[in-house]
Amino acid sequence: MTESQKMLETTEMIGSRPPATDGSVTRMLLASDGSTTRLLQAITGQPLAVQVDAQGETRAAGLPPAIRAVLGLTDDGAIVVERRSRLLTPERRVVSINHVVLDPAAVRTHGAPDLAVPIGIRLRGDRVPQFRELVGSGTGTWLPDGASTPAACAFKAYLIHDSSGGLIYVHESFNPGVVPPPRLVGPGSQPR
């Protein structure tokens, strides 16, 4: 059974349910150190697809200082892969907007991310041992393409540590219609 078939099977078992409005969905999602894509599929009751808006190599000097710091990048000339993407329902509703940066070790080990597969799902499918370290969460700004008014949204930022020593920085902003924003911002940072 392929990874996509497993995800679909899980989604079909859960069924389509509206998100809880008591904040439990948001707290669970922001505190989780597992697959955000799988959790969002459970929340929406639908399979999600990735749409990559931009992906390419860049020098570390072009990244915001906070991201360079969390990745431990001290060489401005280091080559990283930067990706901007979103997760979509089959109806093309945007569920999350994502910013991902692979450090040089992750780039050497994994190459450029597959444009058709979310990064965490790809690593899991390749059976790459990994763990996630939360580096920030709270309330951010939701302004998808075409929107004229920003809205508050939940966000989460974390590092994926893989067995090769590579680091992958992930920042996810969640559609407030799917994941209600937190009422109170907790401690944490928001490297962009």
Q: What is the pLDDT of residues 17-26, one digit of tens each?
A: 444 556 888 9
Average pLDDT over residues 150-161: 94
The more confident residue out of 166 and 17 is 166
Residue 33 pLDDT > 70: yes
**CB 131, CB 167: distance < 8 Å:** no
- Give the pLDDT band of residue 49 (cuts 50, 70, 90): very high
Domain boundaries, the chain: 3-174
Does 8 have pLDDT greater than 60?
Answer: no
pLDDT tens digits, one per residue of 78-134: 999 999 999 999 999 999 999 999 999 888 887 777 778 787 777 777 777 778 999
pLDDT class for 52, splitting at 50, 70, 90?
very high
Per-chain mean pLDDT for the chain: 82
CATH class of the structural domain 3-174: alpha beta
Average pLDDT on 16-40 reads: 78
Instruction: Report pTM.
Output: 0.81
* Residue 172 contacts residue 97 (beta carbons within 8 Å): yes
pLDDT at 162: 86
Q: What pLDDT score does 22 carry?
A: 61
Cβ neighbours around 132 below 10 Å, total = 18
